[in-house]
Structure 1
Amino acid sequence: MWGKEIVAKERFPKRYRHPELDVTLRKHRTRGEARALAKCMEAGIPVPALLHCDLNTMTLYMRHIRGHTAKHVISGCEEREDTEGVMGICREMGTLIGRLHKSGLVHGDLTTSNFVKPSPEHYYAHTETERERETEGEGETEGEGETEGDVAMDADTPSPTADTHPCPLHVIDLGLASVSSQAEERAVDMYVLERALIATHKDSESMMDACVCAYRQVMGDKITDEVLKRYEKVRGRGRKKGEKVPGQ
């Protein structure tokens, strides 16, 4: 389809909802995700390229990213005791979150499963093909579509590291994204990420610190401090005494 490998993300009806409400919600969320992807693309933030939005079927057609989730990459680094590899991915996540927030968006569901490292062969093949299309008008080799949530990878391909896998990290699944520049909303984004790190990975405190340090480089001290101040309040609603705020 369109000479590209694609992902078709369809929002199916929920039978427990009133039919009219269901249609309204699904259309709102489909349109919202499409706008978030378009906004990211305009800002140069690495996301799956949006190819088409069909509001009749509540389906988004996006460029397929063949690679590994950040969760997979980090787990591989942890198994090899590659601390710098882990911190490198976390810094990339922090930078990407900063760019997302700076563009006026909050993600709404930041986990290490919602960041993807493209495989070098797939990424550079596509970028080279895009250059050829721009200069010569040639198309790409047509591939097969994938179902929602799939991040295809070869089973025999080793988990990449920050050093051996230089392709830019991509953020995916913007279904809960919204337009906001409020410190509270940004703080909630960071809190959701922290809870995901704690639940999934070792040394979550150092990982979160690395994310915040990279985030600060993008957003600057003033805004980052405002977000961390709100973050402390958000975190305080459910945290245990003695837990420190990351980046401080």
Structure 2
Amino acid sequence: MSVQLITTAQELLNNIPLNVISQGAEAIVFETQTHPFLPKSNQSPTTKFIIKYRPRKPYRHPTLDLQIVSSRTQSEARLLHKLYQLGIKAPKLIAVDGPNGIIWMESVGGTLPNGETSSLKNMLWFKEKSQEEREDQRNEPNIALDDEVKDIMSKVGGAVAKLHLANIVHGDLTSSNIILDQHNDKWEPMLIDFGLSSYSLLAEDEAVDLYVLERALISTHPIYSKSYNEWLLQGYERTFREAAASKKFTEISRRLQDVRLRGRKRSMLG
């Protein structure tokens, strides 16, 4: 990771303490204890916030780069605010600086018993590893397929369905972009990273969203992905039916079959 990028971010953020969480192709994600508006006397050392920073791309023309960074940042911020208005669980927007590519939002999720961040991927890996470590107890229920996992995957499907019912496609659904928040001893999924999200009325786009998540689960959790995906789709369908949108679900389901077929053909052709 470029030290210069981190230095630039700190300069734009008035040199507040920052902890790097991750870096992708488009943005760097930081964690901080500093609120952008509250005075220091009103800030709690236990409260954390997330800052997403889109750095400038030196290979682009400066004017074009400014337009792209500002447009994408403000678009993502507007979407986060829209999700909050719709009651769809996602990080709450706190502040946005479009020209500098900065989004300030609440920190979500917690820590798993093994110390890892409570992403869906980490949770499933934790369960799968726990099961591996007790393979000698073959008469015991499978931890990786217990009721807690089934409940989580069903809720993930429901969360994606609520997004699609609002005609929003995520664009990058993976088990890393789903964070689990704990409420009353229950894990509740929350979608994150809406940098590639968009509005769409096309069932095809929503089917592709589902297919991307399906393939991500197969890739990162190959042993149990069949059950995970089945539970996910059950929660997805149930949410559509509860919203009296069975017709739309049927169309998305049909499109998903088509997308899967195209994916298999591409795999066969290399």
Q: Deviation string for 1:11-69 (max 9, x for gaps)? A: 00112222222222211211111111111101111111100111131100000114100
Q: How far is 1:213 from its partner? A: 1.0
Instruction: Determine whether 1:192 maps to 2:212.
Output: yes
Q: How far is 1:107 from its partner? A: 0.5
When Rg is computed on C-alpha atoms for both structures, the one with the higher figure is 2
**Alpha-carbon separation, structure 2, partners of 1:45 and 1:8:** 20
**Alpha-carbon separation, structure 1, partners of 2:66 and 2:256:** 35
Aligned residue among 225, 228, 240 for 2:250:
225
Q: How far is 1:98 from its partner? A: 0.6
Instruction: Determine whether 1:78 maps to 2:128.
Output: yes
Q: Deviation string for 1:137-191 (max 9, x for gaps)? A: xxxxxxxxxxxxxxxxxxxxxxxxxxxx414221111111111131011001001
Instruction: Determine whether 1:173 maps to 2:193.
Output: yes
Q: Deviation string for 1:94-143 (max 9, x for gaps)? A: 010011111221100101111111255xxx8xxxxxxxxxxxxxxxxxxx
Q: How does 1:41-120 map to 2 (within 5 A)?
A: 41-67=84-110, 68-79=118-129, 80=131, 81-82=142-143, 83-84=145-146, 85-119=148-182
Give the total of aligned pairs: 198
**Alpha-carbon separation, structure 1, partners of 2:253 and 2:109:** 34
Instruction: Determine whether 1:33 maps to 2:83.
Output: no
**Alpha-carbon separation, structure 2, partners of 1:204 and 1:240:** 21
**Alpha-carbon separation, structure 2, partners of 1:214 and 1:181:** 21
Give the structure 2 partner of residue 13 of structure 1: 56
Helix, strand or coil for the counterpart of 1:90?
helix
Q: How does 1:205-220 map to 2 (within 5 A)?
A: 205-220=226-241
Q: Is the 8 A contact 2:66 2:99 kept in 1?
A: no
Report the residue type matching 1:204 in the other structure.
S
Q: Is the 8 A contact 2:53 2:102 kept in 1?
A: yes
Q: Is the 8 A contact 1:74 1:89 kept in 2?
A: no
Aligned residue among 224, 229, 234 for 1:203:
224
Give the structure 1 partner of residue 23 of structure 2: none
Report the residue type matching 1:184 in the other structure.
E
**Alpha-carbon separation, structure 2, partners of 1:33 and 1:118:** 21
**Alpha-carbon separation, structure 1, partners of 2:163 and 2:170:** 8
Give the structure 2 partner of residue 142 of structure 1: none
Which stretches of structure 1, 4 residues or longer, exceed 6 Å deviation after superposition? none
Instruction: Report the TM-score when normalising by structure 2.
Output: 0.69
Report the residue type matching 1:210 in the other structure.
W
CA 1:25–1:69: 2 relative to 1, 3 Å:
same
Q: Which moved more, 1:90-99 or 1:18-27?
A: 18-27
Structure 1 vs Structure 2 CA RMSD: 1.8
**Alpha-carbon separation, structure 2, partners of 1:119 and 1:216:** 24
Report the residue type matching 2:156 in the other structure.
M
Structure 2 alignment gaps of length 5 or more: 1-34, 111-117, 132-141
**Overall identity of the aligned pairs, in %:** 36
**Alpha-carbon separation, structure 2, partners of 1:7 and 1:172:** 11
**Alpha-carbon separation, structure 2, partners of 1:118 and 1:229:** 32
Structure 1 alignment gaps of length 5 or more: 125-164, 242-248
Instruction: Determine whether 1:23 maps to 2:66.
Output: yes
Q: How far is 1:71 from its partner? A: 0.7
Relative contact order, higher structure (CA 8 A, sep 6+):
1
**Alpha-carbon separation, structure 2, partners of 1:214 and 1:66:** 21
